[in-house]
Chains A and B, each alone.
Chain A
Amino acid sequence: MITYIEAIRQALWEEMEQDERVFLIGQDIGIYGGAFRATAGLLDRFGPERVIDSPISESAMIGTAIGAAMMGMRPVVEMQFIDFIACGFNQIYNFAGPNHYRWGQSVPLVVRGPSGGGVRGSNFHSQNPESIFQHGPGLKIVAPGTAVDARGLLKAAIRDPNPVLFFEHKFLYRRIKEEIAEGDGLVPIGKANLARTGRDLSVITYGAMLHVALEAAGRLEADGIDLEVLDLRTIKPLDDEAILATVRKTSRVLVLTEEQRSGSVAGEVAARISEHAFEWLDSPVVRLCCPDTPIPYSPTLEDAYLPNVDKLVAKVRELASY
């Protein structure tokens, strides 16, 4: 049984072991092993040329990785907290993303780091910035909700010839433990996972909210509501097929995400459903997201801000009786 963070460490370790082009850039990832220990022991095993401690320069870290990636290396950049990816926005959004379209040069880059709230991190250590980058052509975005997926998707991200943003969820780092099978366990980018089959109503979600959805599903059984839970796993490109399949099956959809509501991934999912499966719907597509506020710090405030099982159960009951 290994934790989500250990699954990430294993993926890095194994990819570095079997491909000498893979190397890491990050702040405090060397001797310290990373703020969350995702790179513990890697410096000893692979040396300072492949585990590079960086200055506090997110833009230069990502820019340097882009250059190395164009040369055929497979850099993985750690954002100590994913919130700081904002400081490297230009390199990701303007350099890495459009590069292949513009002049045919691929950029096999991974930028990974801890996202998400629930750990009282306040506004600069809790963000979910996936929707900002969802808009960017040429990028892929992954957000695993299980340890098995974290390992398999990180390996797939490192092997992908495109820039991949890998949004881990720090709330899950040490809270979930799973059995990891022998072998690579690659999880393809762009494929959602039906985490629970049900017949009455679909919750489409990803990341830590997957676990909120699964817990709510258990509770709703008592109401006689059979919830289907689709774990997107990949935010970009979205698995339209899986999304439309669950809509056609249950005809009622709630999109549950841990991001501010406006301009969200949830909004994109809802739009696709209404464009392509409107005639299958028995009720409006509903979103349960965070409010359009910065992320508050105090436990009472953050609990009010984040979706949780109680809020989801209430929303599902409402939607089921529409």
Chain B
Amino acid sequence: MAKLSRNWGPLHPVADDETDRLAKSDLPRERQLEIYRYLKLNRMTEDRLSNLYRQGKVVGGLYSSRGQEAISVGSACALEPQDIVGPLIRNLGTMFVRGVQPREVMMQYMARADGPTGGKDVNTHFGDLKRGLVAPISMLGALIPVMAGIALAGRMQKKNLVALTYIGDGGTSTGDFHEGLNFAAVLNVPFVLIAEHNGYAYSTPAAKQMRVKNIVTRAAAYGIPGEMVDGNDVLAVYETTKRAVDRARSGAGPTLIEAKTFRMKGHAEHDDAGYVPPELFEDWKKKDPIDRFERHLLANSLATEEDLKQIVTEIDEVLNREVDAALASPMPPPERAFEGVYAE
């Protein structure tokens, strides 16, 4: 278990002085700056998407991972190229680490012809096994057994790979969470499940979702190790995931990681989250994972203000190009609606 100063309940962040310092990590400066770049890319892309949404360019809903970026980026950076990950709706950062380009996400959100699904599916619902990405379905929990099956196949094919996916606090209430994690444990496959405990499932607080304070206690029910981590500390997420991934790769089976965090926006863009007590947003804003990582980089002389500004400027330029490219893509031709139901 990662050392934590106390046993958190889901909605009570630890006081600043206790946790602003990030976990110890031997990651070299370049890797840490790369992590910073992905964190910013994640947030800045979502900000651009918010703009596109307000302009009426996004078709349907828009989902944000604001406040949770460290979990996606930190965990994905702990994976090897042969590993396979199943991101959910709030794991855009994971997709970027695996090589997805912002324009792919933008085209997907705008239902364009050149997007990864050519307008056939929404938001982050796309995958590409060549980049180790599996598309989710909206029914939560369903990816857990599917990713366990990826891990099983990887073992049969001797690919030395680890499969990783995510679930929210709400998603842990599904049958597939139980069935999938139990079967993965019984099969002892190389699988890591990260439960992002962000306090709310749409409008439903975690206390109405479960009686346990910490999702991680459920690991015991499956006979597998569980680790709890500060989900707003990208280095802690990285180190914790790395331990679980290494353990899985060594043949020691699955791990359940619980990452404590907070959803800083509503369920989706249309939702003002009026049901969340404002002080929770205020408390958690102080623990913003990107701000904290910036303070860490500066305090430890891993970067100067100038370095960070430079990274932000570069991302801005990239996003300008990506938005233009995405907007230039046409809507798909109607006849495409009838194609591709079956594989040939």
Complex interface residues of chain A between 75 and 127 (CB less than 8 A to chain B)? 75, 90-91, 94-95, 99-108
How many Å lie between the Cα of A73 and that of B148 in the bound state?
A: 14
Residue pair A64, B148 in contact (C-beta under 8 Å): yes
Flag whether A245 is at the interface (Cβ < 8 A).
Answer: no
Instruction: Please count how many residues in chain A sit with their CB below 8 Å of the partner chain's CB atoms.
Output: 41
* Chain B residues, Cβ within 8 Å of A105: 127, 129, 134-135
Place the interface of chain B in its size category: 35 or more
> Which one of B126, B145, B341 contacts A103 once the chains associate, using CB atoms below 8 Å?
B126
Residue pair B187, A52 in contact (C-beta under 8 Å): yes
How many Å lie between the Cα of A266 and that of B59 in the bound state?
A: 39
Residue pair A100, B341 in contact (C-beta under 8 Å): yes
Which stretch (A28-36, A54-62, A193-201) binds chain B? A54-62
Residue pair B183, A54 in contact (C-beta under 8 Å): yes
> Closest CB-CB distance, B224 to chain A, in whole Å?
14
Residue pair B139, A57 in contact (C-beta under 8 Å): no
Residue pair A67, B148 in contact (C-beta under 8 Å): yes
Residue pair A63, B148 in contact (C-beta under 8 Å): yes
> Which one of A54, A62, A94 contacts B137 once the chains associate, using CB atoms below 8 Å?
A94
* Chain A residues, Cβ within 8 Å of B157: 71-73
A-B contact pairs, 20 of them (CB 8 A): A57-B183, A59-B179, A60-B144, A63-B146, A63-B148, A63-B176, A64-B148, A67-B163, A68-B150, A70-B129, A70-B150, A72-B157, A75-B149, A91-B146, A95-B146, A100-B343, A102-B125, A104-B117, A105-B134, A105-B135
Q: Quick one: given A59-B176, A67-B146, are A103 and B135 in contact (CB under 8 Å)?
A: yes
Q: Quick one: given A72-B153, A105-B127, are A55 and B183 in contact (CB under 8 Å)?
A: yes
How many Å lie between the Cα of A90 and that of B143 in the bound state?
A: 11
* Chain B residues, Cβ within 8 Å of A102: 117, 120-121, 125-126, 135
Of the listed residues A59, A67, A100, A108, the one surrounded by the most CB atoms of chain B closer than 10 A to its CB is A67
> Closest CB-CB distance, B42 to chain A, in whole Å?
21
Known A-B contacts: A65-B149, A71-B149. Give 15 more (CB < 8 A): A60-B144, A61-B145, A61-B183, A63-B148, A64-B187, A67-B149, A67-B150, A68-B156, A70-B153, A72-B157, A94-B137, A100-B341, A102-B135, A105-B129, A138-B342
Chain B interface (Cβ within 8 Å of chain A)?
116-117, 120-121, 125-129, 134-135, 137-139, 142, 144-154, 156-157, 163, 175-176, 179-180, 182-183, 186-187, 340-344
State the 9 A-B residue pairs at the shortest beta-carbon distance, nearest first: A67-B149, A63-B145, A71-B153, A106-B343, A60-B179, A64-B149, A68-B153, A57-B179, A161-B343
How many Å lie between the Cα of A102 and that of B120 in the bound state?
A: 6
Closest to B151 in A: A67
Flag whether A162 is at the interface (Cβ < 8 A).
Answer: yes
Residue pair A71, B142 in contact (C-beta under 8 Å): no
How many Å lie between the Cα of A68 and that of B142 in the bound state?
A: 14
How many Å lie between the Cα of A99 and that of B157 in the bound state?
A: 22
How many Å lie between the Cα of A218 and that of B163 in the bound state?
A: 58
> Closest CB-CB distance, A59 to chain B, in whole Å?
5
